[in-house]
Amino acid sequence: MRPVSIVLLATLPVVAADPPRRFKATTEKEALAWQQDSRKFLADALKLDGVPGSYKPLASNQKILRTSQQEEFTLYELELSAARGRRMNAVLTVPLGGAPDKKYPAVVCIHGHGGSRYIVYDPLSLYRGFATDLARRGYVTISVEVGQHAVYEEGRTLMGERLNDVVRCVDYVVSRPEVDVDRIGCAGLSLGGEMTMWLGAMDTRVKATVSSGFLTTVANMRQGHCPCWDFAAFSDNFDFADIYGLIAPRALLCQIGRQERAPGGFPVDVAEAAMNDVRKVYAVFGKKDKPVLDLHPAGHVYVNKTTIPFLDAELRP
């Protein structure tokens, strides 16, 4: 019998290809086209009614449930139309003491997993009462609940419904006479940091975005995190840096605690690598230093020390 020759081939490392829709533009024109195409693609995948801000919003049909007077602001508990077949509850604050024609900036304040529309106003929570601090400084603030894990309406998606509801907050505040439509921001922690990323990325009416406790990668989110963030049209085509890149060249601050750990956390080294990719998008717009990465000494908490001055500088309360 003829001997059989066995040839051993060196095993080469498998290098995963970049998801196909990741940012690759080299000019501002290409970057703008990528952003426009990506928003349209994602709006369709999320089953939104369109790209936020590009279509006539649904009337809010506001119903005031409760009002309370604070020293610097009035707090309203509202019911608003979230979609044609659904209503949602919201907390709204409006500053006191301004002239009748005075215009204020507005911030959509977003909680994380296990939170509520009230918790962003609580100084003893992980959110350190950032919404209350903003309300006292002369901002209109609004908060709704985005922590559901079931789809409310047939034909929708979970992340799409969450995003829809914070977009409806923007729709509502820009309809109010005391709000300056050119000074809209959003801020949140954890899931709230994720939703501010999506809101700033998809709705160009938002001029300043604070994403606390979330800057990360798809690979990290698959280690010990709730999988509610994942839908194939996103994770097969992008990474999170690309979604943050849709905010460019508008103002962006990402905040991460140095005590964050994996799995199930948002480590600093992962955040720094992701921010390098975000800055590549901003660099094409000539704004490489516009996105800010704030590394604070604590863990998974919201820190006002950096975020309040950032919003003050961008939105001028």
Domain range list for the chain: 28-315
Q: CATH topology for 28-315?
A: Rossmann fold (3.40.50)
Residue 42 and residue 202 in contact, taking contact as beta carbons nearer than 8 Å: yes
What is the band of 163 on the pLDDT scale with cuts at 50, 70, 90?
Answer: very high
Say whether pLDDT at 231 is over 60.
yes
Report residue 5 as tokens: 């020759």
260-282: pLDDT as tens digits: 999 999 999 999 999 999 999 99
According to the model, what pLDDT value does residue 16 have? 55
From residue 239, alpha-carbon distances to 151, 245, 314 in Å are 24, 10, 27
Whether omega before 19 lies within 30 degrees of 0, making that bond cis, reads no
Mean pLDDT of the chain: 94
Residue 196 and residue 130 in contact, taking contact as beta carbons nearer than 8 Å: no
Look-up of token digits 């020293």: 71
User: Strands 104-110 and 179-189, how do they pair?
Assistant: parallel
Region 163-183: what's the mean pLDDT? 98
- Of the candidates 206, 208, 223, the residue with the CA atom closest to the CA atom of residue 170: 206
Say whether pLDDT at 14 is over 90.
no
User: CA triplet 224, 226, 232: central angle to 5 degrees?
Assistant: 105
274-307: pLDDT as tens digits: 999 999 999 999 999 999 999 999 999 999 999 9
pTM of the model: 0.94
Report residue 31 as tokens: 């970057």
The H-assigned helical ranges of the chain are: 28-45, 130-136, 158-174, 191-202, 218-221, 232-235, 240-245, 268-284, 304-315
According to the model, what pLDDT value does residue 305 have? 96
Q: Per-residue b/e over 112-132, b at no fewer than 16 CB within 10 Å?
A: beebbbebbbbeebbbbbbbb
Residue 258 backbone dihedrals phi, psi, to 5 degrees = -70, -15
According to the model, what pLDDT value does residue 98 have? 75
| DSSP summary character for residue 219 | H
**92 SS3 class:** strand
Residues 6 or more apart whose Cβ sits within 8 Å of residue 255: 193, 210, 211, 212, 213, 293, 294, 296, 302, 303, 306, 307
